[in-house]
Amino acid sequence: MTGRAAPTCLALSGGVGGAKLALGLSRVLPPEALVVVANTGDDFEHFGLLICPDIDTVTYTLAGVSNTETGWGRAGESWNAMEALAALGGETWFRLGDRDLALHLERTRRIAAGESLSAVTTDLARRLGIGACIVPASDQPVRTVVETPDGPLPFQHYFVREQCRPRVTGFRFAGADAAMPSPAFAAALAGGVSAVVICPSNPFISIDPILAVPGVRQALRDCGAPVVAVSPIVAGRAIKGPTAKMMAELGLAGGAVEVARHHRGLIDGFVLDRSDAESAAAVEQLGIAALVTGTVMETLDDKTRLAEEVLAFARSLGAR
Ligand code: FO1
């Protein structure tokens, strides 16, 4: 970091939607002014490898090598290892492409050699040509456990093996009590944050595991920067993933307002899609400023424009 630290935008990201806005932010901010904090609640050990899906989705997306059909893994993948594994009777419910496997092998090797998840994540992002800082929320494990009527499920068992079918009765974040914010996350929180952007990610499984790290929620409130969340719900539905289904199963009213309510007390502003414009008043009644714009990100221009609008919205709130 040269001289005075650039005022930093902290982006909290999980899943596909989070990665899309993180990409937009990386295109409108200088590299030293963006810290992307990736959710680690989806992480798990599989085949003896440490798999970090939300770190990898945002890393591959900013590197321009993500598989945009599936929303995870790499573009142009081959599946020889998986095919050979199937022939040997191995587990193939969680699919790891050949190129993706290289990342898991190398990350697992380096962590076994004593490096922190932050150090490995930062270096691998650099090797993939990314200038912005991507770090896990914590270097200690924080793993989402999905509670269901038939008992708790590790996240990937719920999300992939059971394909989100089980009814959700709650979430736990195993390890959160013993976790600390990762060094770059803590440093950003400690000084020089200009805006905090909660990307359009599932509030329960992508954002709450980050906020469950002791001290994070309070540090976000105290960091002096406006906190703005972008709704992952558009016209009552999640663009991708089980957010709306989870809200219904948790007995919540649903809709974009429910997400704003979920973040109440933490966020200063909430960004709604035009299809939910009628909900802006309800958001404002929660004491949260509302911005209505196009939040569906299909093209790179969509991502860049939304990033610019979100940062301008945050600045307008910060000036208050
Ligand atoms: N999601 C699936 O639905 N099926 C898979 O086989 C699968 C494999 C996979 C491999 C690497 C990786 O980083 C992500 C992967 N995901 C898969 C997505 C993963 O479940 C993520 O946790 C979700 O994207 C939610 O964030």
C-alpha torsion sign, points 114, 105, 34, 5 = positive
Query: Strand runs (DSSP E) across 175-296, as ranges?
Result: 193-198, 227-230, 233-234, 237-238, 269-273, 289-293
Q: Is the pLDDT of residue 254 over 90?
A: no
97 CA closest ligand 1 atom index: 10
pLDDT, averaged across the chain: 95
Taking phi over 0 as left and psi of -120 to 50 as alpha, with beta for the rest, 251 belongs to left
Q: Is the pLDDT of residue 320 over 60?
A: no
Q: What is the pLDDT of residue 1?
A: 42
Residue nearest ligand 1's atom 26 by CA: 15
Q: Return contacts of 97-104, CB within 8 angstroms, 24+ apart.
A: 97/73, 99/74, 100/56, 100/73, 100/74, 101/49, 103/56, 104/49, 104/50, 104/51
CA of 138 to the centre of ligand 1 (A): 20
Distance CA 280, CA 238 (A): 18
CA of 53 to the centre of ligand 1 (A): 6
Report DSSP state, residue 193: E
Q: What is the pLDDT of residue 319?
A: 61
Tokens of 253: 């009213």
Identity at 82, one-letter amino acid code: M
CA of 79 to the centre of ligand 1 (A): 15
| pLDDT per position as a tens digit, 105-137 | 999 999 999 999 999 999 999 999 999 999 999
Domains of the chain and any CATH numbers: 9-65+118-317 (3.40.50.10680)
pTM, full prediction: 0.96
Which of 94, 98, 124, 134 has most ligand 1 atoms within 8 Å of CB, for mutation?
A: 94
- For residue 229, what is the enclosing H or E element? strand 227-230
CA 317 to chain centre: 23
Residues in the chain: 320
Q: What is the pLDDT of residue 185?
A: 96
Give Dmax (Cα) for the chain. Answer: 62
Residues in the ligand 1 pocket, defined by CB under 6 Å: 14-15, 42, 51, 53-54, 56-57, 71-73, 94-96, 100, 156, 159-160
CA 124 to chain centre: 18
Q: What percentage of the chain has pLDDT greater than the value 70?
A: 98
Lowest mean pLDDT across 186-190, 193-197, 238-242, 263-267: 238-242
- For residue 147, what is the enclosing H or E element? strand 143-148
Q: Are 197 and 162 in contact (CB under 8 A)?
A: no
Distance CA 41, CA 55 (A): 10
